[in-house]
Structure 1
Amino acid sequence: MITRRTATRMADGRELIYFDDSEPYVSGGATRRLDDPRPLPDRFGPEPSLPEMRQDPLTGEWIPMASHRMNRTFLPAADSCPLCPARPGAAYSDGEVPDTDYDVVVFENRFPALLAPPDGTAGEAWSVDGDPLWPARTAAGRCEVVCFSAEHRASFADLSPRRARTIIEAWADRTTELSRLPGIRQVFAFENRGREIGVTLPHPHGQIYAFPFVTPRTRLMLDRAAEHRARTGRNLLRDVLDAERRAGTRVVLTSEHWTAYVPAAARWPVEVHLAPHRDVPDLPALDDAERDDLAAVYPELLRRLDRFFVTDDGAPIPLPYIAGWHQAVVGEGRELGRLHLQVFSVLRAPGKLKYLAGVESGMGAWISDTTPERIAARLQEVGR
């Protein structure tokens, strides 16, 4: 599949990239609007105010602190959504995309939790209150927004395989580019969908975070994978996929190159993992056949999830979810990773959310409200 990539800059210096799969843009017969007429100030200004991160001495976790995010846009009306394309003939004011249409577009977040200094370095390091017990650093990563469609009321499940394929190309492109930035240790592409999840912009979009540290969940997974490798000589995620396919009871969808399954120790009310059959570390490592297959399998999985719950009269309830790509880290520990997608929801029944209990929030001791087999049985049922 041919996708045209066109990069430009916004008025405040942020990067914006169009990924086109439609004519006349994909062949180069026309170009999206590349100028940004907004009178935006430089995002850094004469004295840059950068987000910082502090290390918790009790867990070793890094905690980014970005106070400027307190005033970010919250649930705007459809006619003022900053992720929609500019309206033809209207004065371009606060929207993020200067053109009146697009296929897929990626741009730097205006309210990032992670932001590298303007010189592109990893930034400064210091100690809070001058005490070495509390190390602190510039949160020198990068946060990007990926708009899946120009249509405000669309969803990923609605997309054609061609458009889903373009998004896969964008994810792979950004994973490659962001992994090359100084100090980046992990790239995480994800989508939050639904007000119940805490989505502030309902336009169909996802995000990509390039972290300057390995996230806590990934660190735990790497430790377990390292133990498994030392004990067996094998890749833990490979063995998990093989075991799920052998058992078959929790497999909900399979294709030539991909298998979706409910993990045997699923913790969320609805949770599915989607993994490639071939061992690959990340999205850029997928070949064309695997990407084509994914562009058909992933939307089908999301459509099944949207039928998981129904109203009293049988109408499907769109599922609020978080979908995130687990990819191999950058640098040390990369050989232990294996690409897979995790999709989960906080909805445990129509109109009822799973709120974390005290032992879950306070101690990280999870209690499931269902069983993986029940989740899998429902997803198998709605796929018939």
Structure 2
Amino acid sequence: MRRLRRAHGVRGEDILFDLREFRLPDGRELLLYGHAPHEGEVRACLPPAPDSGGGHLRWHPLRREWVAYAGARQGRTFLPPAASCPLCPAAEGRLGEIPFGHFEVAVFENRFPALTGAALPVELGGIETAPARGRCEVVVFSDDHHAGLGTLGEDRLALLLEVWGVRAEALGETYPYVFPFENRGEEIGVTLHHPHGQIYAFPFVPAQARRAAQAQAEAPVIEGLLRDAGALVVEETEVAVALVPPFAIYPYEMWIAPRRRVAGPQALDDAERQAMAGLLGRAVRRLDGLFGSPMPYILTVQCAPRGFEATFHMTIDIRPLRRDAGKLKYLAGVEQGTGVFLADVLPEDAAARLRAVPAGEAP
């Protein structure tokens, strides 16, 4: 058990959370984060994961970007009943990934990784390849199977932001790009309903992330956006803002950003973290209330790639997949074939509708 401290400039060090470190039977790392020290006896868990041998990368010469191949992911768990959920706390008759009866936030190495430290080179004639060396982690937001970012309290969301930051900082020492994210809803391919996200640590900076970082290195794009947002603001505090970007590519897309430029969640101070947590929970509740049902979405935490820390401005981006009640936003021919998005809802209209949805506090 370790009690971790985070330094925040001249204000000294604040004790923010406790960490319990554990090794699963197959050697994968399990980290349990909480406001209180984690206690509890170890229970039975899933047997060791089969050795996947690691994946590999192939260079796409037309797109000028890497494609990752990991055949072992075909066998990953697919929509099990709640009684067999591998992310729920260990209990009589259920084997899962986390061999404890309770936890706050849990992080462990993915059983079915796309990137792994064990990846080996693959030779293919005429095709540029590289080993898919990296790390894929699962971040479980709660031990409650029926919870979600919209129902968790502000303090739990603040802890989650801290965990994202701690992991981004730790993985960033080895890998040049770290990407925390959450997929929510069967509509986008979620295979486990328990509230969770993932973190990918890449051995390269993906092309999209590099373009965004280079744009910010040329001009303070996000600072200008926050300064001139006007009617696009959904909610704001003294230190953070939730808004619809004026160039949103998904209907009802929302970004949450600190007013101060920081490279990632690891650099947020206490006030920023708490404000971002509150805005995040209310943003999800607004999206759920928009059409009266849980909104499928992709949430991404945009962190600075290595080398761009001084000019990058972190954001949490939420990309909803529903454009109206009962209607999904599909990426069809034009979007897939050209990369040009066709937006169905004007950002100004989206912001007005989202502001009108009661957000309240977590139940």
TM-score (norm 1): 0.85
Q: Identity across aligned pairs (percent)?
A: 40
What whole-Å deviation, never above 9, does each CA across 1:2-50 have from its counterpart, x for those lacking one? 31111111101110000122xxxx2x4x624457665426x54xxx711
Deviation at residue 270 of structure 1 after TM alignment: 1.9
AA matched with 1:52: H
Q: Which one of 154, 178, 192 corresponds to residue 187 of structure 1?
A: 178
Matched with 1:197 is: 188
Change (3 A) 1:269 1:339: same
- 8 Å CA contact 1:192–1:321 kept in 2: the answer is yes
Q: Secondary structure at the match of 2:63?
A: coil
C-alpha displacement of 1:317: 1.3
Alignment check: 8 A CA contact 2:213 2:304 kept = no
Match of 1:100 in 2: 101
1:31 aligns with 39
Tell me how far apart the structure 2 counterparts of residues 293 and 80 of structure 1 sit (CA, whole Å).
Answer: 36
Counterpart contact for 1:10–1:35, Cα < 8 Å = no
Is 2:309 aligned against 1:334? yes
Give, in whole Å, the separation in 2 of the partners of 1:290 and 1:223: 25
- Match for residue 70 of structure 1 among 55, 74, 80: 74
**Aligned positions, number:** 345
CA deviation vs aligned residue, 1:184-215 (integer Å, no higher than 9, x gap): 11111111111112111000111111111112
Q: Which runs of 5+ in 2 are unaligned?
A: 1-14
**Residues 126-165 of structure 1, C-alpha deviation per residue, up to 9 Å, x if partnerless?**
6521x3xx22111111111111111111111101112112
What's 1:313 paired with?
Answer: none
Q: Secondary structure at the match of 2:272?
A: helix
2:320 and 2:205 mapped to 1: Cα distance? 24
CA contact (8 A) 2:213 2:305 kept: no
* Native 8 Å contact 2:257 2:276 kept in 1: no
Question: What is the DSSP-based 3-state SS (H/G/I as helix, E as strand, rest coil) of the residue aligned with 1:156?
Answer: coil
Per the alignment, residue 53 of structure 1 pairs with 57
Equivalent residue letter for 1:239: G
Q: Which runs of 5+ in 1 are unaligned?
A: 118-122, 310-315
Which residue does 2:8 correspond to in 1? Answer: none
2:132 to 135, 139, 154: 139
Residue number among 118, 128, 131 corresponding to 2:124 in the alignment: 128
Which one-letter code corresponds to 1:31 in the other structure?
Answer: E
* 8 Å contact from structure 2 (residues 84, 94) kept in 1: no
Residue equivalent to 2:264: 282
**Does the aligned pair in 2 maintain the 1:125–1:135 contact within 8 Å?**
no
Q: Quote the Cα distance in structure 2 between the aligned partners of 1:189 and 1:266.
A: 20
Please tell me whether Structure 1 or Structure 2 has the larger radius of gyration of its CA atoms.
Answer: 1
Show the counterpart of 1:363.
338
Q: Structure 2-normalised TM-score?
A: 0.90
Q: Are 1:267 and 2:268 matched, yes or no?
A: no
Equivalent residue in structure 2 for 1:40, among 30, 48, 68: 48
CA distance in 1, matches of 2:45, 2:235: 47
Residue in 1 that maps onto 2:28: 14
> CA shift at 1:67, angstroms?
0.6
Structure 1 residue 222: Cα displacement: 2.6
1:317 pairs with 284, 293, 312, which one?
293
